[in-house]
Structure 1
Amino acid sequence: MARIKLDMPDNYLFSTELAVRINDINYGGHLGNDAVLSMVHEARLRFLKHYHYTEMDVEGSSIIMTDSAIVYKAEGFHGDRVQVDVTVADFNKYGCDLYYLLSNKDTAVEIAHAKTGIVFFDYEERKVQTVPEGFRNKVLREP
């Protein structure tokens, strides 16, 4: 089976720090795959908050995740401080991709590369919506 490869961006818009908690550790004694996806979710919430958005209100639209991919690079352990860098790329009519680079804050070792696809969504109508121009403009004008 072919391995997943993510072409990670060179620049990121936002950075946050998360601690590896004891409930993030699996039976192998390291950061579990499910915990990585939870960390990505937390980083996405903080990223949106940085721009004064929530998952339920981005310029009047909500977002919904369409896919996710994670490539594991190294182990993480209880108590590690993980830096999660986030950026936006690959815009289309209805959504975009968010990229996440997870690194050990103390050693700079990359723990994981991740991507989540999102589309903008109206939960009352149960339909996708076009990308709000205000969101696109905010994130594209950043360096």
Structure 2
Amino acid sequence: MEQDFRFSTEMEVSIGDINYGGHLGNDKFLVLFQEARLRYLDQFGFSEMSIGEDVSLIMSQAQVNFKAEAFWGDRLKILVRISHLEKIRFTFDYLIIKDEGAEVIVATGFTKMVGFNYKERKVKNVDRR
């Protein structure tokens, strides 16, 4: 599964990420996805607010599949790829792994992003380059 991804970044679980259950809170996974997505886009000189001329990104759907707990201080490897590229939208896939002597999948998920012009408040085509 990991070999299907060409980009990865690492993040550490901070104390602010921990919920009352003593593990990484479910809401924090979307924050991790966003940070990894920003780092992915940055390598190409893009950001969520600029992926082309007058085109930004807006999220239309998100899904997180929880597989294992993560705790304060855990180093997480987050893998990102783009799939399902269409005229106005595409999907970011995510794989979050931690190493406990062997790699453990913490979560998988996706976000569907749509090209959007925030000034015009309209959906825009996504440049396929």
Range into which the TM-score falls when normalised by the shorter chain: over 0.9
Runs of 4+ in 1 over 4 A off after TM superposition: none
Distance in 1, matches of 2:118 and 2:20, equals 38
Number of aligned residue pairs: 127
CA RMSD of aligned residues (A): 1.5
Aligned residues with identical type, % of pairs: 41
Structure 2: tracts of 5 or more residues without a match: none
What is the SS of the residue equivalent to 2:90?
Answer: strand
Q: What is residue 37 of structure 2 aligned with on the other side?
A: 44
What is the SS of the residue equivalent to 2:59?
Answer: strand
Give the AA of the match of 1:71.
N
Which deviates more, 124-133 or 70-79?
124-133
Distance in 1, matches of 2:81 and 2:122, equals 25
- Structure 1 residues 42, 101: closer, same or farther in 2, change over 3 A? same
Shift of 1:9: 8.1
Distance in 2, matches of 1:133 and 1:110, equals 30
- Please give the residue correspondences for 1:1-143 in structure 2 after superposition, counting only pairs within 5 Å: 11-60=4-53, 61-106=55-100, 107-134=102-129
Distance in 1, matches of 2:76 and 2:2, equals 18
Give the AA of the match of 1:20.
V
Shift of 1:12: 1.1
- Structure 1 residues 105, 16: closer, same or farther in 2, change over 3 A? farther
Distance in 2, matches of 1:59 and 1:41, equals 19
Structure 1: tracts of 5 or more residues without a match: 1-7, 135-143
If each structure's strand is expressed as a fraction of its own residues, which one has the higher value? 2
If each structure's helix is expressed as a fraction of its own residues, which one has the higher value? 1
Cα shift readout 1:6-62 (whole Å, capped 9, x = no counterpart):
xx7861131000000001011010011011111111001101001110111112210
TM-score for the superposition, normalised by structure 2: 0.93
